[in-house]
Structure 1
């Protein structure tokens, strides 16, 4: 059972944010309250600028694709779906200010986003005041969905991800004995680190050094020096936005230690920014495009053409979230209220997207499984499938 725990931004700030965003087509809007009376409006919070802009842009492109599909198929109960995009910049305060704008706008029936767990956790008490659902494609700190009965996330739980990372990626697949951890100081980063450390203790994976950094940090030389002195045979990087900088600075320091990451998923931007420096990088993802699946590959090609970069699991989840909230609204019939949308979302059983069945547990989260990927010759290659834990147990 979920825990029942339960300022508007200035007009100038709102107008500036509206003017800076590009239009998302006739059915979309970039300002609360925009659009026609026969539309159903859902607010979106995403880091369209800043360190996590690749992921925010992925949200925008993927959700717009979903919105266009819904509307092309007749909309929702005779109404068009309208997504209202706002730039949170990856900042928790900015996100909560924009979330407050959505709450105060009676036309908004639900919120999609934000990207980081920290931002989502700042938004959770605000949506609870209005009994309005917030559905994040990417927030994986389990504390987020446990905050109240309005919080939902589809990427899975960070505790399961981090434990899989320590056990199956590093110990079983890579054969790591001694690891150094570099992680971001955030709600997500602290959860990733603590669950990794806990699992490492249980399986006998030796952590020789740990170091944290704050968002927007640029110089990692002192952390790298500290790690080198501990002499690990592997470095685990837990972050989304600074991973490429850390990798590049490790390699330019002359250190050829093996690397893995938990956070950015199969990001094309990571490969573009790191080049040969990220060859051999290991990572996990709960979704990987199957070259034999025509639907998945067609979606991937369209997204890439629109965005200018290939999608990650974060973009795929964003697409599924837009379809998911549309289905919850459709199930409301003529009684489309915030509370009703929230209740329909909590009870939903949905398989109409790309990531498989979505059926929330009592905390508003999902159990996901993971595959292992490696960067080889500038491309992501699947190294172990969803059944890898069973293979390990069977001694294969």
Structure 2
């Protein structure tokens, strides 16, 4: 196997003042081993897609991470120690992710990994992190396999796809009355799990999966033959079980495949990004989404986060940003609950009870967040509108 060059962002802290305070830190990437000269920091790492077809997810997650780190560092840090973040680009690819994980564990100053985005990438990393018992708090890696494999060093801010994927299908079959569904999904761990969940949920709610078509994420550009197969099955709606770049391209081609007609579209949080709308164009209008985050949530924690995010980035935050932001505050609480120590940190992480921008965060013994609830949104005139009635109907079932 040839050597893969992995883009790495330079280690840095999140504010100019913190960078000055960390001037004594020197890191050498030589033979896979890093040496740190300063122990007055809390050094964490993040592996996320910063380039490639899923980059929008990783960049927004990093925005949330950096916003929280800046706030904490400006307020004096954690026990007087500043948070230092190293970012690595895994491109949402298992091979790149494994390379990133090996680089992370080679630096013994790193005490936790935060902000993981893609399930297939995280699944490739967890055995590597597990060898050194390095705690991982994922942001939006949602595959149920991550908790079912029994990783003792894993937790995630976002509820898994047993809630999210099932919610999208349930919205279609139970609330909107679309009993015959088709599924378009990537041929990776994430996509296969969502297909299985869709089949199971449809069967439980009186629906039926009449077509399921798969593609290679990031490689398939022409979806016409797949969409023709979907159209031939005459579904009531199409469940988009993939990432925004693929789904945007597919939806932009869907109207032609359905003879000039728009088919109702169901999706989860992965499509609720501006890039999906840009790629899909007018064909995206009317897309239904179930998500675990609503930017309009009136809770004080969320409104403070939204105000700070908009002021910093001049953009409206989505679920990626909220998950990244809460990720850091859960880590902060765990360290404080652990007496300020970063060793043997995982029990404190799993015991955390934190109310953040995304709502209640409570971990079970497998690391799943049991505190989340779904909201329903629909794309109208290019904006995602919260649908209170459909949300209530979804939770009434």
- 1:285 equivalent to 2:291? Answer yes
Unaligned 5+ segments in structure 1 are 1-6
* Equivalent residue runs for 1:114-129 within 5 Å: 114-129=116-131
Q: Is the 8 A contact 1:47 1:87 kept in 2?
A: yes
Mapped partners of 1:125, 1:291: distance in 2: 36
User: Equivalent residue for 1:4?
Assistant: none
- SS of residue in 2 equivalent to 1:255: coil
Alignment partner, residue 3 of structure 1? none
Partner of 2:102: 100
Query: What does residue range 1-396 of structure 1 map to in structure 2 within 5 Å?
Result: 13=5, 17-18=8-9, 24-26=14-16, 27=18, 36-147=38-149, 148-167=151-170, 169-216=171-218, 217-241=220-244, 242-253=246-257, 254-290=260-296, 292=298, 296-297=302-303, 299-304=305-310, 306-307=312-313, 309-337=315-343, 340-351=344-355, 353-367=356-370, 368-384=372-388, 387-392=392-397
**Is residue 265–residue 285 contact of structure 1 (8 Å, CA) maintained in 2?**
no
How far apart are residue 319 of structure 1 and its match? 0.8
Matched residue of 1:264: which SS?
helix
1:22–1:268 CA distance, 2 compared to 1 (3 A): farther
**C-alpha separation between the residues in 1 aligned to 2:39 and 2:298?**
42
Cα gap change, 1:305/1:89 in structure 2, threshold over 3 Å: closer, same or farther?
Answer: farther
**What's the TM-score, normalizing by structure 1?**
0.87
Local SS of the residue matching 2:362: coil
Q: Which stretch of the first structure deviates more once superposed, 292-301 or 150-159?
A: 292-301
Answer whether contact 1:81 1:326 (CA < 8 A) is retained: no
Cα deviations across residues 141-176 of structure 1 (Å, max 9, x unaligned)? Answer: 111123311011121121222222222x10122111
How far, CA to CA, are the matches of 2:267 and 2:223 in structure 1?
16
- Verify the 8 A CA contact 2:250 2:280 in the aligned structure 1: no
> 1:81 aligns to what SS in structure 2?
strand
Contact 1:261–1:283 under 8 Å retained in 2: yes
Provide structure 2 residue ranges, at least 5 long, that are not aligned to the other structure: 28-33
Return the alpha-carbon distance in structure 2 between the equivalents of residues 390 and 126 of structure 1: 38
**Bigger mean CA deviation after superposition, 245-254 or 67-76:** 245-254
Distance 1:335 1:190, change over 3 A: same
Task: Give TM-score scaled by structure 2 length.
Answer: 0.87
* CA distance, structure 2, for counterparts of residue 265 and residue 33 of structure 1: 40
- The Cα shift of 1:302 comes to 4.2
Deviations 1:224-278 (A, max 9, x none): 1111111112111101231111111113542311111124153122223333221
Report the Cα offset of residue 303 of structure 1.
2.8
Query: Residue 43 of structure 1: SS of its match in structure 2?
Result: strand
Superposition deviation, residue 194 in structure 1: 0.1
Aligned pairs, number: 378
- Contact in 1 for aligned 2:169/2:198 (Cα 8 Å): yes
In 2, the alpha carbon distance for the partners of 1:262 and 1:97 equals: 29
Distance 1:300 1:333 in 2: 30
Describe the superposition over 1:362-394 as per-residue Cα deviations: whole angstroms up to 9, x where unpaired: 1110223211111111111112465434534xx
> Residue 376 of structure 2 contacts residue 386 of structure 2 at CA under 8 Å; is this kept in 1?
yes
Alpha-carbon deviation of 1:291?
Answer: 6.6
CA distance in 2, matches of 1:82, 1:266: 30
Distance 1:249 1:333, change over 3 A: same
